[in-house]
Amino acid sequence: MSLQGVYQEANGVLGWAVRLNWKRALWFSLLSKATTKPTARHLSAVKTAIHGLKTHREPLVLHGLKGRELHLAGCSDAMWNRPKYEGRQGDMMMLNDESWDLERDGPKNVISWDLSEDKSKHSSSSIGELIAVCRLIKRIPRCARFIRKLWGRDPIISIFVDNGALHDWVRSGILDTDTEYQGMFDYVLQQIQKWGVRMQWITRRAQPANCLCKPIWFTESIYK
């Protein structure tokens, strides 16, 4: 079998291995780029990732909801390389009760996650964060309706960001840079108001969506 065939087969195994592992989902996304022209180094990376997943078991754990209120929490993050005009965005959703606190309890009951590449041209990483929040907000209605159908009541909805500029834009309602993104910003504000979303700023050390933008090994903190 050719190197390409071996690589595609091994990378397919990696894809299934991270299907229920949000912390390592980015590995498959990055390594899939080499599917058409893999090298021995790419194959070695896939093998290392698969071996790591076998050695460090990370099951998807879901906890029971005991509180009276449901809390749908979304986290989004972005990585931006300005010289290359490329980056990545990642977001995730968690469903807990009102007693849960992200900075105190960490990510729990992760029910959804997504990641994407960003090749748009903008001047700051904060715009990348805005794009990530917009992607997250577009997925909130479906989750909220599903929760309402299952539990018969609407959840509290929060979004956690670690970008101070973005948080200030939303709080003031004013986008003071890259005005070509004004339409996207207005949409975000409209959806926040429509769904009663609370946007909260958190420290970078408490942002779990970080590992959806930056590949992190098992021995490293996901908040690196």
User: Are 122 and 168 contained in the same domain?
Assistant: yes
Q: Do strands 86-97 and 110-118 pair parallel, antiparallel, or not at all (unpaired)?
A: antiparallel
User: Are 89 and 157 contained in the same domain?
Assistant: yes
User: Are 122 and 166 contained in the same domain?
Assistant: yes
Q: Which domain holds residue 44?
A: 3-55
Q: Determine, yes or no, domain membership for 219.
A: no
Q: Determine, yes or no, domain membership for 65.
A: no
pLDDT for 63-113, tens place per residue?
888 888 999 999 999 987 777 777 889 999 999 999 999 999 999 999 999
Half-sphere exposure at residue 127, Cβ-oriented, CA atoms within 13 angstroms: 22
User: Are 172 and 75 contained in the same domain?
Assistant: yes
CATH of the domain at 85: 3.30.420.10
Q: What is the pLDDT of residue 98?
A: 92
Q: Determine, yes or no, domain membership for 153.
A: yes
Average pLDDT of the chain, as a whole number: 90
Neighbours of 210 (CB within 10 A): 21
Residues 6+ apart with CB under 8 A from 102: 73, 75, 160, 202, 206, 208
Q: Determine, yes or no, domain membership for 62.
A: no
pLDDT for 126-185, tens place per residue?
998 999 999 999 999 999 999 999 999 999 999 999 999 999 999 999 998 888 999 999
Dihedral sign, CA of 181, 187, 189, 191? negative
User: Are 168 and 75 contained in the same domain?
Assistant: yes
**How many domains would you assign to the chain?**
2
User: Are 140 and 84 contained in the same domain?
Assistant: yes
User: Are 77 and 187 contained in the same domain?
Assistant: yes
Residues 6+ apart with CB under 8 A from 32: 11, 15
Q: What is the pLDDT of residue 224?
A: 57
Write phi, then psi, for 148 (nearest 5 degrees): -60, -40
